[in-house]
Amino acid sequence: MMRVRVFDTASRLARAAARDVARALRANPRLVLGLPTGRTPIPLYDEIVRLHGAGRASFRRATTFNLDEFLGLDGRDPRSYRAFMQRHLFDHVDLTARRIHFLNGTVRDVAAECERYERAIRRAGGIDLQLLGLGTNGHIGFNEPARA
């Protein structure tokens, strides 16, 4: 059952959500996380990095799948969401590169890439915890309101 919590500041939300992620990692060190990008989750990632530095969160055995990527951008491009995640989270925690999964933004066959990604998620056992950020207009990922 979903529990809705309301916070009066973004920093309080980030602290509570980071504690939830840390708790989930302790309960299941092999946790499979779905992760968002954009401005919304940056305070959350900052707080997760802080908890990791304090020894309260380990990603050593966790696996991640990112929600989105820009089509046409190589993961090494500083504008890519892969680079974003490296800067804001992955460079600061003990997650191994082989457990980090992204859509490939440079493929020609987008449908085949989506199928490959879905298979990888299934092989990992599905996503245990999906983090999402809602944009100011209510969008999730690149799914804009009244367009998805």
Point out the residues that are catalytic.
68, 137, 139, 144
Own/partner contacts of 16-23, CB < 8 Å, gap of 24 or more, are: 17/44, 17/47, 17/131, 18/44, 18/47, 18/48, 18/50, 18/51, 18/57, 19/51, 21/48, 21/57, 21/129, 21/131, 22/48, 22/51, 22/56, 22/57
The answer to whether 131 touches 33, Cβ cutoff 8 Å, is: yes
Q: Which amino acid is at 54?
A: A
